[in-house]
Amino acid sequence: MRRFENKRILIGVTGGIAAYKVCDLIRMLYNEGASEVVTMMTPSAKGFIAPLTLETLSKSFVYQNNDENTVDGIPAHIALAQDMDVLVIVPASANTIAKMAHGMADNIVTTTAITFTDKPIVIVPAMNTRMWDNPLVQKNLRVLKSLENISIVPPEIGDLACGEFGEGKLASLDTIMLYIYQAIHPQRRLYRDKRVVVTAGGTREPIDSVRCITNRSSGKMGVAIADELFAMGADVLLLHTLPGLDRPYRIIRLETVEELARYTKRNFKEADGLVMAAAVSDFQLAKSQKSKTPGKIKKSDTFTLDLVKTEDILSQIGPKKKEHQFVVGFAAEYNHVLMHAREKLERKELDMIVANDISRSDIGFGSDFNEVTILFRDKERFDLPKAEKYIIARQLLVHLYQKFLAKREEEPEGEEEALESHTSE
């Protein structure tokens, strides 16, 4: 099952140079399982992209005019609001944003937006940086943000079509896709107001300026968890080792265990939870063998590395967590998977551990799929069958919420005995 399986998505295109990127967005939505992608255009949008292009890619009629368009005798703007699951306005010009903020409805896009009062709308602005910084534009955005069903995708900072540099560039397609996913997510408010640190990828311990000690972790599981948390409303910080990752939440890229430990401890202090999905190197070069001068060790018949253990981050964080915080670990094992996972859960004083068998080539490292067992300290366990990693991520986060956060949020402050009775059930 893909993220947009059986979803019907409506795209409103307004006048802007970034309109051509809608073509790739349509393809991505269909690749992610959307059952239908329908487009509509403002009059000025047709100056940037041809309706025939959108019709060909979307495999659907392109709505262009308020007066002429009907669906089975029903005005198009009403029928579309009835039938579609989410409205995405991309690119959203300053003009369209102003009209929506003031309830104006003078074209098919703005008229349809007015009828989407009980369904999600994702607005993706793109404009010159001077326009974006204009207090009037920002005021209009604040009006739209105040509405429960509307989300705004922040533009990027970069080179603009006009030749200037600044904020106003259309967000990346990956970011837009994640905001759309958040808008239709069945648990989009589950982690609202929760700050969660997630780690992902395999760390790298340098041998010299060229070589390093690492592992085969792709980081896909950790990124899937961060994406799901974002879609569930959390304030996410992802600490990762992956190049070229583009996401709308906060990201810190690092390489070594030392860096990972420093950033994890620092940010966990103010967080509600930690999901430690990174594959942390167990060994690093001994200080006596580390060279302070850059270079490459020359090839020889034999060469010995003097290795020492790296810092055990979870062993330091688990026992010190506050009452309201949760800590989740991962156990990637080749044999006796559950036994080793249970031992790690208890020794590091984790709230939950996710165990997976890395001896299988069809799941785990490098794969888009996983199959895991969730273990809790009270001996409760859940087996999650093989599925795409984003589905595994969603399931484990739902179990985590039901086990800890839901019960804690239901308890009045100060009733510690009641809390203990709930957590022991």
Mean pLDDT of 30-53: 96
Residue type, 415: E
pLDDT higher than 60, residue 123: yes
Please, which pLDDT band fits residue 67 given cuts at 50, 70 and 90? low
Q: In angstroms, rounded to a whole number, what is the distance separating the alpha carbons of residues 72 and 65? A: 16
Please, which pLDDT band fits residue 414 given cuts at 50, 70 and 90? very low
Region of residue 266 (left: phi > 0; alpha: psi -120 to 50; beta: else): alpha
DSSP state of 305: -
Output the average pLDDT for the chain. Answer: 91
Burial class (CB in 10 A: 0-12, 13-18, 19+), 400: buried
So what's the pLDDT on residue 295? 85
pLDDT higher than 70, residue 420: no
Please indicate whether residue 162 is annotated as part of the active site: yes
Task: Choose the catalytic residue: 162, 297, 406, 418.
Answer: 162
So what's the pLDDT on residue 271? 97
So what's the pLDDT on residue 116? 95
So what's the pLDDT on residue 34? 97
Topology of domain 195-423, CATH = Rossmann fold (3.40.50)
Topology of domain 8-184, CATH = Rossmann fold (3.40.50)
**Paired tokens of 243:** 């190049």
Please, which pLDDT band fits residue 84 given cuts at 50, 70 and 90? very high
Q: Tell me the sheet residues that pair with 21.
A: none
So what's the pLDDT on residue 313? 96
Q: In 3D, which of 134, 109, 119 has the Cα closest to residue 43?
A: 109
Cβ atoms 398, 406 nearer than 8 A = no
So what's the pLDDT on residue 401? 96
* Predicted confidence (pLDDT) per residue in 176-200, tens digit: 999 999 999 999 999 999 999 999 9
* Predicted confidence (pLDDT) per residue in 140-164, tens digit: 999 999 999 999 999 999 988 888 9
pLDDT higher than 80, residue 87: yes
Full DSSP string of 346-414: HHTT-SEEEEEETT-TTSSTT-SEEEEEEEETTS-EEEEEEEEHHHHHHHHHHHHIIIIIHHHHHSPTT
Cβ atoms 87, 12 nearer than 8 A = yes
Q: Which residue has the higher pLDDT, 261 or 411?
A: 261
Portions of the chain given CATH number 3.40.50.1950: 8-184
Mean pLDDT of 213-240: 95
Q: Tell me the sheet residues that pair with 274.
A: 197, 327
Phi, psi of 375 (to 5 degrees): -120, 140
Largest CA distance in the chain: 81
Portions of the chain given CATH number 3.40.50.10300: 195-423
Mean pLDDT of 394-403: 96
Q: In 3D, which of 236, 221, 186, 207 has the Cα closest to residue 390?
A: 221
Cβ atoms 37, 11 nearer than 8 A = yes
